[in-house]
Amino acid sequence: MKRDHLNLSAKVGLAAAVLLFFVWVSPQKFFPKDSGEQSANAAAIAANATSSRAVPAAPKVVTTSVEVLVVGDIMLDRNVGNLINEKGFDSVFAGVRDIVSSADIAIGNLEGPFTSYPSRTMSLQSKELVFTFNPALAPKLAGLGFDIVGLANNHTLNFGKEGLKQTREYVAGAGMQYYGDPNNGVGTATSSRFISTVVEKNGIRIGLVGFHEFSYVGLDNVLAEIDRLRPQVDVLIVSPHWGVEYQKEPTSSMWKNARLFIDHGADAVIGAHPHVVGNTDEYQGKKIFYSLGNFAFDQYFSKATMNGLAIHISILKQTSSIEPAPHVSLMYSLIPIQSDRAGVRVATSTKAIENARGLEAARR
């Protein structure tokens, strides 16, 4: 009995020792934490898991803008040349200096060549419509704020190929760019060299393509140039010289070609030649201004020819880190221009402002 009792006591002691060993080694297995501590542990584990996951960065959006001014016909011979000689260039154009110089890029249609040849029209004795501009006025035009001039018109060849060559040299020498060829690139080794130009400002690339309707050749060259430039630029503007003088309504060919330019990739079509402000139109959400009329001219015989239009275009480009291509938008505002014997200025007459507002309303 005693041995049995001793054996029993030994067995109990051994069991107790084993139990104490396991409790010492891993007390939590035998004495788990309370529910509050378990909840805290679970929350910590979840927080660690969340923090270890990559949080996607917010998309980065970069916004840039450029202000562009486009004006109509600029003619610096005949009565305008005489007025400049009498009053000085700065005085004649004082009324538009602010709107031209404040634009990031200012563009106009140069309705004639800069050449070393003497004027045939400033004497006012000849009715010949052959213009040449004093080369000294090229840097004056640049100083006013013009950056680019269009040469696709019916007067840039008034003194032949030599006159056109001189014009390009004088324009470039004054620090301006030019675009548009009076023959739409026909007869040149590389038509795109003269048909278009590209300008970049504030990270926005703008392509300009000229078209001269009255050469009656080279439309295919112009369309090919639009196709070539389209993927290279953010905004593409086509400047056709077309239409019927003193007529606001577009001809059937103007209507057709404007849509053709847009189908090939133009963002806007802004025309010249009729010497009056033409109708406006829209196609596939793109603006068409058939004619801006005169900016600086001596057609003092009617109000329509003394009142032109300048277009201010605000271009906004937004580039996002998560979008494959930037978003570009164009916003237009119209500025009435008056050109008469007193000079060139922003028109302030109620009628001129109403006309501009009417066009803007029609454009919308």
- Could you report the per-residue pLDDT of 98-129, keeping only the tens digit for each? 999 999 999 999 999 999 999 999 999 988 99
- The reported pLDDT for the residue numbered 10 is 45
Residue 193 — very low, low, confident or very high, per pLDDT cuts 50/70/90?
confident
State phi, psi for 236 to the nearest 5 degrees: -130, 120
Note whether 234 and 286 are same-domain residues.
yes
Rounded-to-integer distance, Cα 141 and Cα 126, Å: 26
- The reported pLDDT for the residue numbered 30 is 38
pLDDT(164) > 70: yes
Note whether 119 and 224 are same-domain residues.
yes
Residue type, 154: N
Note whether 235 and 272 are same-domain residues.
yes
- The reported pLDDT for the residue numbered 145 is 98
Note whether 211 and 110 are same-domain residues.
yes
Note whether 35 and 78 are same-domain residues.
no
pLDDT(297) > 70: yes
Q: State the CATH number of the domain containing residue 184.
A: 3.60.21.10
The terminus-to-terminus CA distance of the chain in angstroms comes to 116
Provide the residue range defining the domain that includes 30: 2-52
pLDDT(266) > 60: yes
Note whether 297 and 177 are same-domain residues.
yes
- The reported pLDDT for the residue numbered 191 is 61
Note whether 281 and 343 are same-domain residues.
yes
pLDDT(260) > 80: yes
**In the chain, how many domains are there?**
2
Assess contact for 160 and 154: CB atoms under 8 A. Answer: no
Note whether 269 and 173 are same-domain residues.
yes
Out of 52-61, 78-87, 160-169, 231-240, pick the least confident: 52-61
pLDDT in tens, 1-52: 444 443 444 444 444 443 333 434 444 443 344 455 555 555 555 555 555 5
- The reported pLDDT for the residue numbered 200 is 98
Note whether 32 and 150 are same-domain residues.
no
Residue type, 107: I
Outline where the chain has alpha helix (H): 2-25, 27-30, 35-52, 78-87, 89-92, 97-101, 137-144, 160-173, 192-195, 219-229, 252-263, 303-306, 350-363
- Residue 185's contacts (CB-CB under 8 Å, 6 or more residues apart) are 191, 192, 194, 195, 218, 221, 222, 225
Token pair belonging to 223: 């369309």
- The reported pLDDT for the residue numbered 355 is 66
Note whether 36 and 104 are same-domain residues.
no
pLDDT(348) > 70: yes
Higher pLDDT, 80 or 58: 80
Rounded-to-integer distance, Cα 62 and Cα 59, Å: 10
Note whether 86 and 146 are same-domain residues.
yes
Note whether 19 and 118 are same-domain residues.
no
